[in-house]
């Protein structure tokens, strides 16, 4: 099978976990004997063209007509973003180049992993050639321009006018396709999307991302302190400031430390406020290998998100290594973390709620030991080979499955 992956962001150009999942899926397909072409956006300092980055995987780079590349999305001024989104919906200039790639590669399946930043009009070229489409759902992008249904620190209670118009336009493109299926890594993401986009009118499945992560190069260490770890973007939607405040309060009279791995818009501000505290350590960006090693020097991974995460890869990586997780009871996190079995779900996602939950762990260290034992016993749930077989079966079926329409 020849699979063309649309992934506007793809390593080495990365902003989050979706890019890692796209790369892992390419590796999985090639290991199963399939051929892969990835189409990603190029930066302004990169030439158009394609290259073979690994046996069986070609990457085609397309310079987009957007007023700024998708890699600069978080740095762009607010006044530019509406124009960027209009271009993402309606600018047709990439269609000829993308059409030539489709004709040259002749895929059996187009796997849409991340279309934002290349432009939704590319779907018209797929429809013209009647190529089956499998649409991966790493976010809520089909229903929300911001891709999160989260604004001003709160979940959106309904569909705003711009997002409703955007959804109607995207649905029109989906309905042009000869065959469409959808796959989401979490039930929560699928259910939220289905309230605004008729994803369940088409073949759909919930399958974890078949990600592979490096094994640690060191053994697990012990400490008299409670060693907390946060890994992810340093952004207000991630609840990092709240977590820091909770740990700051506890550290006044308890033995607790917090290590933070990641970068983001709030990093400079939070480093200035907390970076000199003896209980706090900002690592900045680290590799997956370094993160695996850091997990062996940690007692609990904390995911204090205040928005509905889909299926955080860092949670899967931690649980796969037997590291318990404390996470907000939002989005897809409860599908991974079983409360008081392999970690703790925090329902009160405020500073005081997190302070109380972490205080409970400090008061009952035997709970943490039990969670670690369960996490180690359940690590097989996240075996990439098992999940990968399920994903491959789904994609192979999608390549020959007629679309189900209302």
pLDDT at 404: 44
CA distance 32 to 28: 6
Task: Using pLDDT thresholds of 50, 70 and 90, give the confidence band for residue 15.
Answer: low
State the DSSP H helix or E strand holding residue 2, giving kind and residue range, or none if neither. Answer: strand 2-7
63 contacts 14 by C-beta, under 8 angstroms = no
pLDDT at 316: 94
Angle at 264 between CA 326 and CA 5, to 5 degrees: 90
Task: Using pLDDT thresholds of 50, 70 and 90, give the confidence band for residue 11.
Answer: confident
Could you count the other beta carbons within 10 Å of the beta carbon of residue 31? 12
Query: Helices 313-320 and 288-295: crossing angle, nearest 10°?
Result: 50
Average of per-residue pLDDT across 320-340: 96
Distance of alpha carbon 210 from the chain centroid: 12
158 contacts 196 by C-beta, under 8 angstroms = no
Q: Could you tell me which of 168, 169, 148, 149 has the C-alpha nearest to residue 159?
A: 149
Q: pLDDT of 168-188, one tens digit each?
A: 999 999 999 999 999 999 999
Task: Using pLDDT thresholds of 50, 70 and 90, give the confidence band for residue 406.
Answer: very low
pLDDT at 403: 43
Sign of CA dihedral 155, 157, 160, 166: positive
Distances (CA, A) of 364 to 114, 309, 319, 361, 370: 43, 28, 20, 5, 11
Cα dihedral: 335, 341, 342, 347 (round 10): 60
Residues contacting 56, CB < 8 A, separation 6+: 29, 30, 34, 35, 36
Q: Answer whether 0.85 is exceeded by the pTM.
A: yes
Cα dihedral: 260, 241, 243, 316 (round 10): -50
Report all structural domains of the chain as residue ranges with CATH numbers, in order of start. Answer: 2-212+384-398 (3.40.50.2000), 226-382 (3.40.50.2000)
Q: pLDDT of 19-59, one tens digit each?
A: 888 999 999 999 999 999 999 998 767 766 777 777 889 99
């Amino acid at each position: 099978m020849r699979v063309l992956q649309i992934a506007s962001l793809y390593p080495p150009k990365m902003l989050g976990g979706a890019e890692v999942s796209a790369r892992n899926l390419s590796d999985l397909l090639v290991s199963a004997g399939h051929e892969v072409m990835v189409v990603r956006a190029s930066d302004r300092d990169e030439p158009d063209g394609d290259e073979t980055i690994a046996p069986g995987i070609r990457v085609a780079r397309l310079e987009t007509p957007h007023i700024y590349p998708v890699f600069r999305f978080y740095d762009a001024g607010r006044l530019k973003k509406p124009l960027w989104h209009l271009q993402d919906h309606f600018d047709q200039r990439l269609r000829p180049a993308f059409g030539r790639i489709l004709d040259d590669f002749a895929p059996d399946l187009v796997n849409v992993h991340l279309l934002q930043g290349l432009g939704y009009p590319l779907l018209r070229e797929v429809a013209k050639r009647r190529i089956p489409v499998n649409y991966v759902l790493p976010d809520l992008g089909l229903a929300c321009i911001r891709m999160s249904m989260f604004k001003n620190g709160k979940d959106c209670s309904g569909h705003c006018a711009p997002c409703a118009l955007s959804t109607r336009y995207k649905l029109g493109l989906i309905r042009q396709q000869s065959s469409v299926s959808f796959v989401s890594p979490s039930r929560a993401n699928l259910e939220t999307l289905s309230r605004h986009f008729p994803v369940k009118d088409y073949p759909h499945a919930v399958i974890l991302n078949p990600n592979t992560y490096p094994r640690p190069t060191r053994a697990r260490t012990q400490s008299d302190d409670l060693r907390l770890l946060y890994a992810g973007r340093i952004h207000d939607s991630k609840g990092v400031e709240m977590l820091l405040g909770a740990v700051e309060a506890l550290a006044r009279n308890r033995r607790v430390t917090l290590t933070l791995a990641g970068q983001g818009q709030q990093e400079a501000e939070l480093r200035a406020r907390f970076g000199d505290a003896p209980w706090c350590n900002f690592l900045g960006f680290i590799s997956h290998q370094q993160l695996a090693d850091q997990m062996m020097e940690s007692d609990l991974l904390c995911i204090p998100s205040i928005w509905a995460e889909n299926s955080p890869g860092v949670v899967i990586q931690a649980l796969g290594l037997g590291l318990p997780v404390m996470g907000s009871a939002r989005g897809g996190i409860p599908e991974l973390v079983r409360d008081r079995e392999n970690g703790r779900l925090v329902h009160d996602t405020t500073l005081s709620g997190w302070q109380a939950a972490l205080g409970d762990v400090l008061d009952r260290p035997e709970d943490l030991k039990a969670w670690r034992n369960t996490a180690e016993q359940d690590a097989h749930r996240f075996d990439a080979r098992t999940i990968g077989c399920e994903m491959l079966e789904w994609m192979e079926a999608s390549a020959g499955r007629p679309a189900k329409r209302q």
